[in-house]
Amino acid sequence: MRVRRRVRRFYLLVGGAFLLLVFYFFAITFPLVRMERQIDADLEIAMDLLADAGHGMSRSEVEQKAVRLQNEIESFDRIASDPSRTIEFPPEVEMMLRQPFQLIDFDGRKFVTLDNIRNRAGEQKVKLFDDWESQFPDYTGQPPRRIWAQLTVMDQLMRTAIDAGVQRIDFAELVLHPDEKTSSGSESDVSEEVIENEIAVHMRLIGEMKAIHRLILMLPLNGEELKTMEIERGPGEKSAFFLSRFILRKSSAENPDEVEINFIASGFLDTGSGWDPTF
């Protein structure tokens, strides 16, 4: 009798566990599976809508563009890990970067930078656009390394354009990171948004084709590479810059050899070990 009770109790427990599993499946697992299928279906619809809105691109073309974008992101990472491709600071700035940020040091360096550019442009007879000095960065709470990089990139790009022999610099403006747009109140008129370790400048220059060709040749080379290729330039450091896009067109019908170039050039901060974007 006692054995029979134990067997009956065992079967009751097994039956209860089975019923509990059945209840769990229908009450929890099945709704979750159904919800997952619904999400997958909604995602498929969203992908099709995205493809339809993608200027006539098919879904496979959208996926290919996503892969291409990922490859570009990885290439930026490779650029940032190569010291010869990152922003080269002048020794004086390197020394200041090792110390706590002092606004008086930055303003003093900026004054010297502007004066040097003004003198070099006068010597080379390069016309600068009105109020060009205002496009150089002011301190508005940026991380110290970033504002020093902004000043350095603006300086080196302006000097490179002057050294290339262009006739006029019509426009030069920092392309700001989204966080900086809210803090500084300034925003470039181009749609690109820079990534965290990128310092980008939108420029528009006018000059003879040989000067523009020389500029395009000089931009991606650092100072040592220019020296190796025996390309003459003025004194000062030169970083390797990257063109994200450029538009080249005739400046006027009266001067067939004169062209206008509109481009965005970027320098990248070193993201090696210990790099901190807030520093």
pLDDT tens-digit series, residues 28-63 = 666 666 777 777 777 777 766 666 665 556 667 767
- Give 274's pLDDT tier (boundaries 50, 70, 90): very low
pLDDT tens-digit series, residues 162-207 = 999 999 999 999 998 766 664 444 444 444 556 778 899 999 999 9
CB atoms closer than 10 angstroms to residue 186: 15
Pairing of strands 258-268, 198-208: antiparallel
- Give 245's pLDDT tier (boundaries 50, 70, 90): confident
Please name which of 176, 115, 194, 173 lies closest in space to residue 140, comparing C-alpha atoms: 176
pLDDT tens-digit series, residues 217-231 = 999 999 898 988 888
- CATH match for 84-268 among 3.30.420.40, 3.90.550.10, 3.30.70.60, 3.90.1720.10: 3.30.70.60
Which residues share a beta bridge with 175? 200
Res 179: pLDDT: 66
The mean per-residue pLDDT over the stretch 74-91 comes to 74
pLDDT tens-digit series, residues 92-151 = 999 999 999 999 999 999 999 999 999 999 999 999 999 999 999 999 988 999 999 999
Alpha carbon of residue 217 to chain centroid: 21
Res 219: pLDDT: 94
Sorted by where each begins, the domain ranges of the chain are 2-80, 84-268
**Highest mean pLDDT (candidates 25-34, 149-158, 262-271):** 149-158
Res 15: pLDDT: 66
Rounded to a whole number, what is the distance in angstroms from the first to the last CA of the chain? 81
Neighbouring C-alpha atoms within 13 Å toward the C-beta of 16: 6
What's phi and psi for 143, nearest 5 deg?
-60, 140
